Amino acid sequence: MANEPPVIDSPESKKIIAPGYTFGTITDQIASVVLTKKTPYVVMGTFAVAMGLLLIFLLAVGLLFTKGLGVWGLRGPTMWAWDITNFVWWVGIGHAGTLISAILLLLNQQWRNSINRFAEAMTIFAVACAGMFPILHLGRPWLMYWLFPYPNTMGIEPNFRSPLVWDVFAVSTYATVSLLFWYVGLMPDLATLRDRSEHRALKVTYGFLAMGWRGSAKHWAVYETASLLLAGLATPLVLSVHTVVSLDFTVGIVPGWHSTFFPPYFVAGAIYSGFAMVLALAIPLRSIYGLKGLITAKHLDNAAKVMMATGLIVGYSYIMEAFSAWYGGNVYEQAAMWNRMTGPYKYHYWVLIACNVIAPNALWFKKVRSNTVVLFIWSLIVLVGMWLERFVIIVASLAQDNLPSSWRVFESTRWDWATYLGTIGLFLVLFMLFIRLLPMISIFEVRTLLPQAKIKEDSRG
Amino acid sequence: MNKPIYGVMAEFDNPSSLVGAARAAREKGYRKLDAYSPFPIEELSDALHLHKNKLPLLVLIGGIVGGTLGYMLQYFVTVMYYPINVGGRPLHSWPAYIIITFETTILFAALTAVFGMLGLCGLPMPYHPVFNVPRFALASRNRFFLCIESTDPLFDRDKTCEFLETLEPREVSEVAH
């Protein structure tokens, strides 16, 4: 707005967002994505494709319900395959959102302010997609509530010594806390949308969701405490979720699974794939909606660095996995590792090594990190690599377990593909509805990044 | 014009003026006042003495309750209600309880943090008198407001308005109930 004071302070040395923004222009730019009637054609087109994939998902699930799990390629001994691979992949993707919203908040990394909102949304939708797979894999999904302890006439309860029950608690807690954290973060921005929208129905809807937020200093004080506490609670939570997922494997005695370093290895892999998804979403979003001043090259650079660092941890884990299989002296572990590298899944294995160990090293170079097209392609490579990693861990270990007479190479069916691609459709549909209906960048947190938001102390009254 | 009002409100266009005004009002002796801003301002909480709240204590209690309930649930099920003897291993297998105890601790603490925050703020509150000021819609965009409420013992409709005018606001308006 013209009557706002101009920026007189010299911009801070570390510029997070582009200079020249005011409280008003930030608000208008982010809110206008939601409050306009226009949707860019690219978004419409992608939404149509995503909707198509979602319909395929519904078809695949319908078939699964009527015919049973045999429509997937599950045959003994490989009774966990694409379903659990997809589950681990999707849960892992969610981790970056919580890392950005919780851990980076505690570390006072202010660049997170313009990417945390959509990264948290990504988390929630990724966890929703992840949750599909174990439930569909139950065989009788309509009895999924048996997983929870509740007083029942059957006189039985879940086995609390089983990692699969731990997983139920870990993932459902994670989903709940992520949703709450996200909603709390949205409240002040919902109030902005309520005050900015002109249509009565919109005002009422956003007003209802904003719960009467009015930006009172008394509220902000409690709100800041709540945000910090939630971040503190979500930080151990995010590290625990993939730990518990990895316990699903390590507690089993299958060669290739039974290993103590899976928890940190899985957590690093989760953050690695999550940042890849953040980049894969942020790069198109910022150019479609002209948000390059808010999601700047600095953000992409930082995200790429985090991706590379966690990628190197993952690479180290692969080396340690092979080393400990060899050095441990257990013939079954050695055989499982050898089969992984040279057996029927060798192509998967070496492609994943190329994607996860070799490819991220390109990110050492600033030229790669600053080229958005290359960075976008690289994030897709990482996503593919991380899917293959989980596939190899799960399927290659199961298909050739302790008993060679039962060995069988897994073959996926078209319904495996349909279910997997279907959840990508579900994810994109949810994500695009979010982009259209809610502010994708946290408006109030970006306002705090402006130089004008700093209190000048000479104004002491 | 003599209907009782909620308070008087001054509008500022930058956070520094708001913080300065809040400090001045405190110094003048006003206690029933609240400031409204489009983002959290640390110095404003200092000026209005808002740094202490009960939320951390509530969350601590929530976490302890959640952890205790989670542990007791597992103890009850695995030791008393549905014991499974696995090769004579102890029924009270506490290492296996750690994860679910941790998860219920976090879950209850997080629920307490969110609902406690809403409770302490008195939200949801669909109606509040400050919304009667038309320009208050900008409080969620780029304007900063200080409201001195009529319940303050020092409140006097004209004098408080005059005082607010001395703080160089953009505008001073009365807030109807």
Distance of CA B8 to the CA centre of its chain: 22
User: What would the pLDDT profile of B60-71 be if each residue is shown by its tens digit?
Assistant: 999 999 999 999
What is the CATH class of B5-46+131-176? Answer: alpha beta
Question: With contact defined as beta carbons under 8 Å apart, do A250 and A257 qualify?
Answer: yes
**Backbone dihedral angles phi then psi of residue A77, each to the nearest 5 degrees:** -90, 5
Q: Residue A460: its pLDDT value, please?
A: 46
Domain ranges of chain A: 23-452
What is the per-residue pLDDT across B97-118, written as a single tens digit (0 to 9) for each?
999 999 999 999 999 999 999 9
CA distances A365 to A106, A111, A304, A355, A368, Å, are: 29, 21, 11, 17, 6
Contact (CB, 8 A) for B26 and B4: no
What span, in angstroms and rounded, lies between the C-alpha atoms of A439 and A452? 22
The tokens describing A350, both together, are: 């070496």
What is the side-by-side order of every strand in the sheet holding B144-149? B33-36, B144-149, B5-12, B171-176
What pLDDT score was predicted for residue A29?
85
| Strand B171-176, strand B5-12: pairing | antiparallel
pLDDT tens digits for range B81-90: 988 888 988 9
Residues 58-97 of chain B with CB under 8 A from chain A are 59, 63, 73-74, 77-78, 81-82, 84, 86, 93, 96-97
Q: Where are the domains positioned within chain B?
A: 5-46+131-176, 55-121
Q: How far from A92 is each of A87, A130, A238, A283, A354, CA to CA, in Å?
A: 8, 9, 10, 20, 20
Please report, for residues A15, A74, A339, A385, the alpha-carbon distance to residue A347 in angstroms, rounded to integers and kept in the order given. 44, 21, 11, 12
Comparing alpha-carbon positions, the chain B residue that sits nearest to A245 is B99
- pLDDT the model gives residue A12: 44
Query: Which one of A234, A445, A459 has the shortest CB-CB distance to B19?
Result: A459
- A211 CB neighbour count, 10 Å cutoff: 16
| DSSP structural state of residue A99 | I
pLDDT-above-90 percentage for chain B: 32
DSSP state of A159: -
Alpha-carbon span B49 to A390, nearest angstrom: 52
Q: What is the ipTM of this complex?
A: 0.91
CA-to-CA dists, residue A402 to A53, A81, A180, A331, A332, angstroms:
38, 18, 44, 10, 7
SS3 helix, strand, coil % of chain A, rounded to 5? 75, 0, 25
Contact between A461 and B21 using a beta-carbon 8 Å cutoff: yes
A23, A27, A18: which is closest to A4 by C-alpha? Answer: A23
Mean pLDDT of B119-125: 89
CA angle (A372, A375, A380) in 5-degree steps: 130
For residue B128, the model assigns a pLDDT of 87
From first CA to last CA, the distance across chain A in angstroms is 27
- Closest residue, chain B, to A448 (C-alpha): B39
Report which DSSP code applies to A17: S
Q: Does B131 lie at the interface with A, CB-CB under 8 angstroms?
A: yes
- Please indicate whether, in this complex, the C-beta atoms of B123 and A24 are within 8 angstroms of each other: no
- Position B49 scores a pLDDT of 83
Kindly determine whether residue B59 and residue A229, on different chains, have CB atoms separated by under 8 Å.
yes
- Residue B22: closest C-alpha in chain A: A461
Place of tokens 């409420």: B149
- Angstrom CA distances, A329 to A255, A260, A322, A401, A403, stand at 12, 15, 12, 17, 19
Contact call for A233 and B106, based on CB within 8 A: yes
Domain A23-452: state its class.
mainly alpha
pLDDT of residue B68: 96
Per-residue tokens: A161: 């010594």
**Quick one: A258 exposed, middle or buried, by C-beta within 10 A (0-12, 13-18, 19+)?**
middle
Q: How many CB atoms lie within 10 A of CB A33?
A: 23
Tokens of B125: 């509150």
Residues of chain A with pLDDT under 50: 1-2, 8-13, 459-461
Q: Give the pair of three-digit tokens for residue A379.
A: 């994030």
Cβ-nearest to A461 among B24, B35, B63: B24
Residue in B closest to A208 by C-alpha:
B126
With contact defined as beta carbons under 8 Å apart, do A63 and A415 qualify? yes
pLDDT at A458: 58
pTM, 2 dp: 0.90
Question: How far does CA A179 lie from the centroid of its chain?
Answer: 13
Whether the link from the prior residue into B124 is cis, omega within 30° of 0, is: yes
Reported as a single tens digit per residue, the pLDDT across A446-461 is 888 888 888 776 544 4
pLDDT for res B116: 94
Q: Average of pLDDT values for B26-52?
A: 86
